[in-house]
Amino acid sequence: MTPLWRAFLVAMAALAIVIMFAFIFKAQAASMCVSHKSMVDQLLKRYNEVPIARGAANKHGLMVELFKSATGTWTFVGTTGGQLSCVLAAGDGMEIYSQAMLEEKSL
């Protein structure tokens, strides 16, 4: 995969996340979202999930995080610049690829 193609895919993923946030924040009641600290605490307490990846989705402070447990449960969380966090998706059976596996798959 060329660096230009990879940059394009990253940009498209960021755009999709921003669009998803726009719909989520309009569609969900504020009670569906909690402070970032509370979200982190609840994911650890209820599901033994810890953050394994984090990325800035835009220059305005929008952040996305992936939480995962040792048993494979996972939660994808979006956090605004104001530290309001909402669950974007959750599931079971998360498999993490190593960098070597990613490079092999891109050939």
Between 85 and 61, name the one with better pLDDT: 85
Residues in the chain: 107
DSSP state of 30: G
DSSP state of 96: P
3-class DSSP assignment, residue 13: helix
Taking residues 83-93, report their average pLDDT.
88
Closest-CA residue to 53 (of 32, 72, 38, 74):
74
Structure confidence at residue 15 as a pLDDT band (50, 70, 90) = low
Per the confidence metrics, is the pTM higher than 0.85? no
Where do the domains of the chain lie?
A: 3-105
